[in-house]
Structure 1
Amino acid sequence: MKLLCEVFRSPKKEGMYLFVKREEGLTRVPETLLAVFGSPESALVFALEPSRKLALADTATVLAALESEGFYVQMPPGSSAEPALDPRQNKQQK
C-alpha cells in the first residue's frame, strides 16, 4: 500500500503532529481532536509506503490508523495521549 500523506503540526502543542490521507484531508478528524490540536498547520506532504522509515512512529501503525480511523496523531516523545486524542476512547464514549 502506498498513499499520499499530509502531516499537520499543532500550534497549541509543540511536537504534536496529525497525519492524514492527502485526498481526504481533515474530513475524518473528530472535532474534539481539532479542538485540542488547534488550527492545523500543514508541515509536509510525502508518499507513505510500508518500506519507508518514520522518525518517531511505526510506519505500519500509521498506515493502519489512516485506513481505519482516517488519521494518526503523533505525540511528542515522552508524553501520554490525552483522552480526546485516542479514537478508541471516543468510540467507547459514544
Structure 2
Amino acid sequence: MEKTIKVGLPQGLHASNAAALVERASHFKADVHLKKGNSIINVKSILGLMSIVLKLGDEVQLTAEGPDEKEAIAAIEDFLAHT
C-alpha cells in the first residue's frame, strides 16, 4: 500500500517527535517506509528518521506491507500530517 502525504508538523521532524513516531510505527507488524526525494528510510528506525530532514509542507510517500498495512499508513499519516 502506498500513500503520498504532506508533512503538517509545525516544527518539522526533530528528535523528540521522531522517537514518538518510531514508537507508534513499532506497534504494527507491517514494514513501513518513508520516501523523500531519493531517500527511503524505515519508519521504525530512529537513525533512519534522524537522517532525513522533514519540514512543514514537505511531500513524502509512505509505503507499508504486511497484515496491518492500512492501519499503519493511517497512524503514520495522522502523526505526520496533524501532530
Larger Rg: 1
**TM-score, reference length from structure 1:** 0.26
Q: Which has the higher helix share?
A: 2
**TM-score, reference length from structure 2:** 0.28
